[in-house]
Structure 1
Amino acid sequence: MPQIGWYGLGSMGLAMARNLQRHVASKKALNMIYSNRTMSRGDALKSLGGIPEPDFAKVVDQSNVIFTMVSNDKVHTSLLNSVLSKSPSLKDKIFVDCSTIHPNTVDASVARLAKKDAHFLSAPVFGGKPIAEDGKLVFALGGSEKAAEVVRPLIQDVMGRKVIDCGSEARRAALLKIAGNIVTVNMMEAVGESQVFAEKTGLGTGPMEELITEAFGAVAGGYSKRLTSGAYAPPLESRPGFGVSLAIKDADHAFAMAKEQNVELPGLQVARDNMAAAREYGGECLDSSSMYGILRQKAGMEFWNEKSRKGN
């Protein structure tokens, strides 16, 4: 098994890295070397055998396969800049980015690393924090098939339940992620609307949630649970499952690409506007499902339900 490096320990990244480190340990292979802006986020990973290294360039130097899971294109590019400026040799190293970034950013990373005889794979994920913790994410994987053969066993049945092969063009995996996010955000909006309707009409959120889960599947049911549990607006000292600003960023990537192709995304626009309004009202510590709070307000209810951070 190759030496694995990891950067990015947000809600998703930490859950994914923990599963990968458990796998590494079970195979009695070399422990993962990890880095993060806030190194204390990796304490749970360290307890599993992970090796902390504050300098990401040193992580790269010591690793054969390097996973990254970061918040946006700017952070991704900054990391790559630091590596290219500090690392003397990147020959045959494989970089696997699991973030949601623009396909053009992917293209640039592929080209820059190719000049150093290194490989870049785009491997964005579908699923929230609970699914990441269970190792049941769906991955899109694009890039060099030779590199993908090395990486696929580190993903399948370790961090994810399914790997969708997007071919040799890394950007296609990023495209699939953006397209999938259109479905995701629209689904959260639809679940939020139906739950507000159920509460206002007296039906109640319980029967509605049962129907959503049984008729439309566990993913839709999971989105409903974010609302009814109050997770759409978690306590300020905690982290949302997937932050509202990240979801807005992802939606904006979709809008930018849709505009280039003269494609309209009216449903996504409604959801994006509601997420932006939620962020303006409740701040950054909100989940991507927090459009629910705005839908509640529009129906004459409080933004906060009884289980959210200001519910009591």
Structure 2
Amino acid sequence: MTSMKVTFIGLGIMGSRMAANLIKHQVELTVWNRSAASMNALEKKGAIVAASAQEAVKDADLVFSMLSTPEVVEALFLGQEGLLSMMKKNALWVDCSTVNPSFSDLASKAASRSGQVFVDAPVAGTKPQAENAELVFFIGAEKVVLARIRPYLDMMGKKVLHLSKTTKGAAFKMLVNILLAQSMLIFSEAVLLGEKLGLSKEFLLDTLPNLVVTAPFTKFKAEMIRTSDYEVQFPLEWMHKDLHLAAITAYEQEQPLYLANLAKELFAEAKMAGMGRLDFASIHQYLARR
């Protein structure tokens, strides 16, 4: 492949591991993050640490971003003094953040006006998948643009799902996360009711995840419930944020979203109870105490 100057902006739980996988494939990578610790760790692995976000992007051909909220993406990239104004003409901006489709549309139009090409590229997977390069990318882009970034996506993931034009990657991610959140709630309710009916917690956690009616990811979350160890892989506060974005999207489309909105309020309550920085599977613990 033709080598490009690559920059990664946002080095949290997901971004730091995605960037590390690019470095493993000898990509010359420039990184920037608001806090220094993750930058320092990647510098030891071979990354170039930029002094500022502006410096990180100014010479890049390809910029990946993995940030927490649409508001953070907007603050960094958009506006008169945003990163888009610092980037080269025809540079690629690949946003892996989970944002709502209407925001991706806004970002795409801003990039077009500034002379860059925007790609929405949210991912399926949490900390282990990011670490092991097993993410699934949901790509909203033209085929010719996907071909340019595909080698780098393959370094960080196991599958690329091409969803045609811009915003469709973000749209599909909305669907995935409302399924994820509600499946976790349903599994938790089933376990709690099973215990009340006299079935042992161990039996339920061993058996329910293996049934065809159960979402496969619950096999991993069952171990968290078993040990009450909710070491964060996907923070509960970000699940609440994603459900909020889904609610905004449903409102924009005039589509009722009854159960996902109920899930959103339950995750909001758990966040208010101090569980925001735990893994989203801790919703089970919240329901058990409620």
State whether TM-score is above 0.5.
Answer: yes
Aligned residues: 283
Contact kept in structure 2, 1:39 and 1:54, CA below 8 Å: no
Q: Which runs of 5+ in 2 are unaligned?
A: none
Specify the code of the residue in structure 2 equivalent to 1:3. K
Report what 1:84 is aligned to: 84
Report what 1:11 is aligned to: 13
The ranges of structure 1 where at least 4 consecutive aligned residues each deviate by more than 6 angstroms after the TM superposition are none
Contact kept in structure 1, 2:275 and 2:282, CA below 8 Å: no
**Residue 223 of structure 2: which of 212, 222, 225 is its match?**
225
Q: Secondary structure at the match of 1:120?
A: strand
Q: How does 1:10-159 map to 2 (within 5 A)?
A: 10-23=12-25, 25=26, 29=27, 31-81=28-78, 82-85=82-85, 87=86, 90-156=88-154, 158-159=155-156
- Give the C-alpha shift of residue 190 in structure 1: 1.4
- Give the C-alpha shift of residue 258 in structure 1: 1.7
- Give the C-alpha shift of residue 283 in structure 1: 4.7
Report what 2:262 is aligned to: 270
Identity %: 28
Report what 2:271 is aligned to: 279
Contact kept in structure 2, 1:166 and 1:172, CA below 8 Å: yes
Aligned equivalents of 2:84 and 2:136: distance in 1?
A: 30
Contact kept in structure 1, 2:234 and 2:279, CA below 8 Å: yes
Q: Secondary structure at the match of 1:170?
A: coil
1:100-134 deviation line (CA, Å, top 9, x unaligned): 11112111111111123211100001111112111
- RMSD of aligned residue pairs (Cα, Å): 1.9
Aligned equivalents of 2:277 and 2:263: distance in 1?
A: 18
User: Structure 1 residues 122 and 15 mapped into 2: Cα distance closer, same or farther (>3 Å)?
Assistant: same
1:62-92 deviation line (CA, Å, top 9, x unaligned): 221110000001110111132134x2x5212
Q: Secondary structure at the match of 1:62?
A: coil
User: Structure 1 residues 41 and 92 mapped into 2: Cα distance closer, same or farther (>3 Å)?
Assistant: same
Aligned equivalents of 1:212 and 1:53: distance in 2?
A: 48
- Say if 2:205 is the partner of 1:209: yes
- Give the C-alpha shift of residue 296 in structure 1: 0.2
TM-score scaled to structure 1, two decimals? 0.84
TM-score scaled to structure 2, two decimals? 0.90
Report what 2:241 is aligned to: 249
Q: Secondary structure at the match of 1:111?
A: helix
